[in-house]
Structure 1
Amino acid sequence: MADVTSNSAHIGAFDEPVSRTLECIGVRNEAPGVMTFRLRDPQADGTRRFAPGQAMRLTLFIDGVRHDRTFSIASSPLEGDVFELTIKAKADGTVTRWLHQTLREGMRIDARYPLGRFTLDASNGAPLALVSAGSGASPLMSMLRTLAQCDPHADIAWLHAARHAEDILFADELAALQTRMPNLKVSVWLSAPAPGWFGLRGRMTRGTLGAMTPDFGRRTVYCCGPAAFMQNIRQIHAAEGARRAAFHIEHFGPVVETPLAETATEDAGGVIHHATLGNRRFDVRVGETLLMAATRQQVVIPCGCASGLCGTCKVRRVSGDVTMHHAGGLSASEEAQGWILACSSRPSTDIEIAFR
C-alpha cells in the first residue's frame, strides 16, 4: 500500500517522521494471503508518535536491491511503541512476498514513520462511515481501535467489501468490538460469495449503502481501497448531498496525477526545461513534476504513490535545481546528499538526474 490523499485533521499531535530500526515481536495470519506483523520501536519512549490512519515506510534489501514500500499502520497509537502492519502478499510483489516468507519474531527491519495526512478527526463528534475494500481496511482499523478506547459510544458505520467470506479482514475483532461499542454497525459486501452466504452481494451501490446506512450522506467518510472503488464511493457520497470536505481518502498504488497546468501549457510557452536521465532526455512542461514529464514520454521512473510519501521515485540530482514539496518520503540527510523525489519536484532549470 502509497498515494495518500486527504483533507482531514488528526486526533492528537504526532511527531515529524523519524527513521528507526524496528524489532518484529510477533506474526499472525489474518486471512488467506494476509499476515499481521507486530513491530516494536526499541528507541521509543512510550509516547504516541503517530495518528490513527497514518503509514510507515519499510526499507528492505532483497538480493542486494533496495526496496522502499509504504504500509498503513493498523494498530492504535495508544499502544505506544508497538505497531501492527496488516499486509496482503501480492503474487508479483517482491516486498510483500519477502515479508510473508521471511520476516519473523526477533528480526529487525528499517522503517520511517509516521507518514501521511490521512488521519482521524473525531473532535466534532460527527457520525462516521469507515469504508474499505480488501486490505484498505488497515488504516480504518487503526481509527476504529482508537475510538474503541477513547470514545466507545461513537456513531460508526463500518462498510467493507471483500471477495470471499474468508477474505473479510478483522472479522472476529469487529464482532467483539460490536459488543463494546453500542453504536458500531458493521456491513460487509462479498463480490464472489459461496453458497450459504446470506449477506450483501456484489458492489457497494447507492441503493445498498442507503439501505445499510440511510444517513450516509451526512456522515464524515474515511475511505481506503482501489482507486475505482473510492471514486465510486465518493460519487455516491456526493449524490447524497454531502459536503466534499467530509470525504477523506487514502490509497496505495501507482498513481500519476494530471498536470494542473496541462490545458494551459500551449499559452504558457509549453516546454520550459529539459531533464536527462541516463541516455534519455525529456522535456518538462509548465506545471509538471519530473515524474509527470517522464511518464508522459515513456521514461520509466519507478513510482509508488505520486504524493511524496513512499520514497519509491527517489532519484539523485546530478545538476540543476528543483522546487520540491514532499510528505515525508525523504529524510533531511537524504536531501542533503542530493536525493529528490521525482513526484514532488518541479525543475527550475535544466536538470540531470540519476538512480544512484
Structure 2
Amino acid sequence: MNAHTSFPASEFVAAMRQRQWADSSPQAMVCRRVIDETHDVKTFVFSAASDRMFCFNAGQYVLLRLSIDGLNVTRAYSVSSPPTRPLDLHITVKRTPGGLVSNWLHDNLRSGDEIKIEGPLGSFKLDGAASEKPLFLAGGSGITPLMSMLRMLTDRASDLDLRLIYSVRSPRDIIYKSELNALAARFPNVEVTFLCSKGDSSWAEPSGRLNGPLLLRLVPDLANRTVYTCGPELYMKAIQASFDEVGIEPLAYYEESFGGYAGGAAPDEASAISSFVHFTKSGIEHCCAPGETLLDAARKCGVYVPTACQQGVCGTCRIAKLSGEVSMCDLGGLTSEDKSAGYVLACCSRAQGNVSIDL
C-alpha cells in the first residue's frame, strides 16, 4: 500500500471556504467563453479572476457593473448555470432592440475581457422543502433561472417528477433546445414541452398561447404541483389567469418576473396629471414630463439613484417617499415592510401630483 499524507476533513472544509466568495460585493470576473444560443441570445461564461468559487442558490441573479461610453450602468441577469458547478458562472442574455446593456454585451464582450459582477441576489430559488412534483413554467428568456434549477437537479440525479413547459414565439426562439431534449431523454422523471405561439408546418408540438384548459391538459395533476415560473410581465399575468380559468391552485407558487413595460400608469394616462418631484436633500424641484418615472426625473436633475434591473424586480432603486402619491408597478422589489415605511421603486414609480423624495 502506498503511503500518503492524510488531510483532515475540517482542514479541507476550511480550505474550500477560503475559495468561496465571502460576501456579495462586486468581484472581478473574466469572460471565458461566449456561446451563441439562438439568433438573438448569447450565453457568457465567467470565472472569478481571483480563482474563487461562486456560491448561490439556483434561481438567483447577479448584477453586472459596466462602463459603456463613459456611463456607469448596472443590470440584473439571472444565473443560468447551476450551483453544483461553482467554478464558473453563466448568464444568458437576449438582445433587446434599443437595449443599452444587452446590445453592448452581444457586440463587445469577448473571451478574456474582465468585468465586475455583484451577487448573488434574489429570493426566487428552489425551496429546500419543495414538492416532489415541481412544475417549471417559462416564457422566453425567463427560462434562465429555471435552467439553473433544472441543471442542478439533474446534476444531482434527482428523482423528482419534474415538468417544464417552455413558451416561446417560434421554434427558432427556443433557448437550450438541444440540452433540454437531451436531459428529457436521459432522465425519465423529467418531461419537457415546448409551446410556440407561432408554430410552422414542421412543428409537431403544441402551438398557441398557454391558457387554463391547455395547462390542465398538459399537466392533469396541476393541483399537486409546486409551481416555479418566470417570464415577461404579460406572460406572468397569463399564467395567473390560466390558474383562475380552471379554478385550480397549486400546492405552492413562486414567481420571478422581468421584461416588458414596468411602469405604473401608462404615459398617456399620466399626461393628464400635472406632477412635480421635490428632491428634499438636493433642494431641487422638477416638473415631470408625461409618463416620466422618478428615476428619469432624478437623472435629469443630476440626483444619483442606484439602479439595476429597471423593471421593478430587484429593489436596488428603493427610495424613501416623504409625501405625495405615486403610481407604481412593483414586481417584487419591495417587501411589505418597505411599503409600510413609505419606500417606492424609482424605476417604476410615477408622481401623481406633488411628491417629495428623501434624496
How far apart, in 1, do the equivalents of 2:78 and 2:311 lie? Answer: 13
Name the structure 2 match of 1:20. Answer: 27
Q: CA deviation at 1:238?
A: 4.5
Counterpart selection for 1:31 from 23, 26, 38: 38
**Distance verdict in 2 for CA 1:248–1:31, change over 3 Å:** same
Percent identity of equivalent pairs: 31
Q: CA deviation at 1:64?
A: 0.3
Of the structure 1 ranges 61-70 and 225-234, higher mean CA displacement relative to structure 2 is found in: 225-234
**Distance verdict in 2 for CA 1:178–1:307, change over 3 Å:** closer
- Taking the TM superposition and a 5 Å limit, the aligned residue runs for 1:126-275 are 126-243=132-249, 246-253=252-259, 255-256=262-263, 274-275=278-279
Of the structure 1 ranges 36-45 and 207-216, higher mean CA displacement relative to structure 2 is found in: 36-45
Q: 2:158 aligns to what SS in structure 1? A: coil
Q: 1:147 aligns to what SS in structure 2? A: helix
Residues 294-325 of structure 1 deviation map (CA, whole Å, 9 limit, x = unaligned): 7489846677133444x4x488x9xx9xxxxx
TM-score by length of 1: 0.72
Name the structure 2 match of 1:115. Answer: 121
Of the structure 1 ranges 70-79 and 240-249, higher mean CA displacement relative to structure 2 is found in: 240-249
Counterpart selection for 1:66 from 63, 72, 80: 72
How far apart, in 1, do the equivalents of 2:218 and 2:48 lie? Answer: 40
How far apart, in 1, do the equivalents of 2:314 and 2:204 lie? Answer: 43
Question: Quick check: 2:32–2:47 contact (8 Å CA) kept in 1?
Answer: yes
How far apart, in 2, do the equivalents of 1:29 and 1:134 lie? Answer: 16
Structure 2, unaligned stretches of length 5 or more? 1-20, 266-276, 300-306, 323-331, 335-343, 350-354
- Taking the TM superposition and a 5 Å limit, the aligned residue runs for 1:296-315 are 299=297, 304-309=310-315, 311=316, 313=317
Of the structure 1 ranges 188-197 and 248-257, higher mean CA displacement relative to structure 2 is found in: 248-257
Question: Quick check: 1:72–1:85 contact (8 Å CA) kept in 2?
Answer: yes
Question: Does 1:280 find its partner at 2:280?
Answer: no
Larger radius of gyration: 2
Q: 2:89 aligns to what SS in structure 1? A: strand
Q: 2:142 aligns to what SS in structure 1? A: helix
How far apart, in 1, do the equivalents of 2:254 and 2:89 lie? Answer: 23
Residues 248-274 of structure 1 deviation map (CA, whole Å, 9 limit, x = unaligned): 11122353569xxxxxxxxxxxxxx95
Of the structure 1 ranges 214-223 and 27-36, higher mean CA displacement relative to structure 2 is found in: 214-223
Residues 113-150 of structure 1 deviation map (CA, whole Å, 9 limit, x = unaligned): 10110001143443011111111100000000001022
Question: Does 1:92 find its partner at 2:98?
Answer: yes
Q: CA deviation at 1:195?
A: 2.0
TM-score by length of 2: 0.71
Q: 1:179 aligns to what SS in structure 2? A: helix
Q: CA deviation at 1:45?
A: 3.6
How far apart, in 2, do the equivalents of 1:90 and 1:298 lie? Answer: 20
Question: Quick check: 2:212–2:244 contact (8 Å CA) kept in 1?
Answer: no
Q: 2:262 aligns to what SS in structure 1? A: coil
- Equivalenced residue count is 294
Alignment-mate amino acid for residue 24 of structure 1? C
Q: CA deviation at 1:18?
A: 2.6
Question: Quick check: 1:218–1:242 contact (8 Å CA) kept in 2?
Answer: no
Q: CA deviation at 1:275?
A: 3.3
Alignment-mate amino acid for residue 30 of structure 1? E
How far apart, in 2, do the equivalents of 1:36 and 1:351 lie? Answer: 39
Alignment-mate amino acid for residue 177 of structure 1? L
Q: CA deviation at 1:17?
A: 2.1
Question: Quick check: 2:258–2:313 contact (8 Å CA) kept in 1?
Answer: no
Question: Quick check: 1:257–1:306 contact (8 Å CA) kept in 2?
Answer: no
Q: CA deviation at 1:196?
A: 1.6
Structure 1, unaligned stretches of length 5 or more? 1-13, 259-272, 284-292, 321-326, 330-339
**Distance verdict in 2 for CA 1:278–1:61, change over 3 Å:** farther
**Distance verdict in 2 for CA 1:149–1:240, change over 3 Å:** farther
Question: Quick check: 1:282–1:294 contact (8 Å CA) kept in 2?
Answer: no
Q: 2:105 aligns to what SS in structure 1? A: helix
Alignment-mate amino acid for residue 206 of structure 2? L
Choose between structure 1 and 2 for higher RCO, CA contacts under 8 A separated by at least 6 residues: 1
How far apart, in 1, do the equivalents of 2:41 and 2:68 lie? Answer: 20
